[in-house]
């Protein structure tokens, strides 16, 4: 075979190998139930999140904020958007034995992921742009180095919480180490109120409309958090 033909064959095999190991194919077949506020003012942002997850191989099904947790039976992942009104979300999601990720800080106490005091155990910072990565080796850090990470294109609100002792902390708001922007619980880990995580639980720093404002680093953290939550690997 001509050397150039051999080289082209090598490139084709390399491309095939890379595609097989890509996140999109790795996520293929994973069903996501995403809790949103249907017909809410930020529904277009939730649609962007769904399109992004779909581009990575996930199958995403929207459910309204007042849906019964039973709708997630058999799902691989539950995502609770911050577009929901926490008072309309049924309490059974806390005990659901399905991996769950949220960026709604007002529901963290209901999920036993933090304490109950608003602006003390959980809350929202009005204008932020940077995070401080404190656990770079952990997969949820998305390969970003320890230290400052620019996660928004422009300043925007960020959700935060103060997790229980069993949490894995990934990042805090820059200059505010007591406000945790990304954290997670392994299945069986102790959350708040001595509650045990029935499956993995993860909190992200996003706000209602900030998904479209994520920088390249912010999107890496988003994808890494999704992948870790749904994965069985530690």
- Indicate the pTM of the whole model: 0.87
Strand partners, 77: 32
Per the CB < 8 A criterion, the answer to whether 133 and 170 are in contact is yes
Give the pLDDT of residue 132.
98
Give the pLDDT of residue 193.
84
SS3 for 174? coil
Domain assignments of the chain as residue spans, ordered by start: 3-230
CA distance 63 to 98: 15
Show the beta-strand stretches assigned E in 28-167: 31-36, 59-64, 77-80, 100-102, 122-128, 130-133, 147-150, 156-161
- Each residue of 168-207: pLDDT tens digit? 999 999 999 999 999 999 999 999 988 999 999 999 999 9
Per the CB < 8 A criterion, the answer to whether 89 and 72 are in contact is no
Tell me the CB-side half-sphere exposure of residue 98, using CA atoms within 13 A. Answer: 23
Instruction: Give pairs for 130-134: CB < 8 Å, separation 24+.
Output: 130/173, 130/174, 131/171, 131/172, 131/173, 131/174, 131/181, 131/182, 131/205, 131/221, 132/171, 132/172, 132/173, 132/174, 132/175, 132/177, 133/170, 133/171, 134/169, 134/170, 134/171, 134/172, 134/177
Give the pLDDT of residue 55.
97
Give the pLDDT of residue 14.
39
Residue 7 has pLDDT above 60, yes or no: no
Handedness of CA 197, 199, 36, 222 (dihedral sign): positive
Q: State the architecture of 3-230 in CATH terms.
A: 3-Layer(aba) Sandwich (3.40)
- Each residue of 27-83: pLDDT tens digit? 457 999 999 999 899 999 999 999 999 999 999 999 999 999 999 999 999 999 999
- Each residue of 145-171: pLDDT tens digit? 999 999 999 999 999 999 999 999 999
Residue 1 has pLDDT above 70, yes or no: no
The model's confidence at residue 133, banded by pLDDT at 50, 70 and 90, is very high
Give the pLDDT of residue 234.
61
Polymer length in residues for the chain: 234
């Amino acid at each position: 075979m001509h050397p150039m033909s051999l080289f082209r064959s090598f490139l084709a095999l390399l491309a095939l190998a890379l595609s097989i190991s890509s996140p999109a194919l790795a996520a293929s077949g994973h069903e996501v139930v995403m809790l949103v506020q249907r017909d809410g003012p930020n529904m277009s942002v939730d649609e962007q999140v769904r399109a992004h997850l779909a581009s990575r191989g996930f199958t995403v099904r929207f459910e309204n904020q007042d849906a019964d947790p039973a709708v997630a039976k058999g799902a691989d992942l539950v995502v609770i958007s911050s577009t929901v009104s926490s008072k309309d979300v049924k309490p059974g999601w806390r005990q659901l034995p399905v991996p769950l990720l949220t960026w709604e800080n007002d529901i963290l106490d209901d999920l036993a992921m933090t304490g109950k005091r608003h602006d003390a155990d959980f809350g929202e910072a009005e204008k932020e742009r940077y995070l401080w990565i404190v656990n770079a080796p952990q997969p949820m850090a998305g390969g970003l180095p320890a230290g400052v990470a620019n996660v928004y294109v422009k300043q925007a609100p960020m959700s935060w919480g103060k997790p229980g002792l069993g949490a894995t902390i990934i990042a805090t708001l820059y200059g505010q180490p007591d406000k945790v922007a990304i954290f997670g619980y392994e299945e069986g880990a102790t959350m708040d109120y001595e509650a045990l995580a029935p499956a993995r639980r993860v909190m992200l720093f996003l706000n209602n409309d900030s998904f479209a404002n994520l920088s390249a680093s912010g999107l890496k953290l988003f994808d890494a958090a999704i992948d870790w939550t749904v994965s069985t690997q530690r």
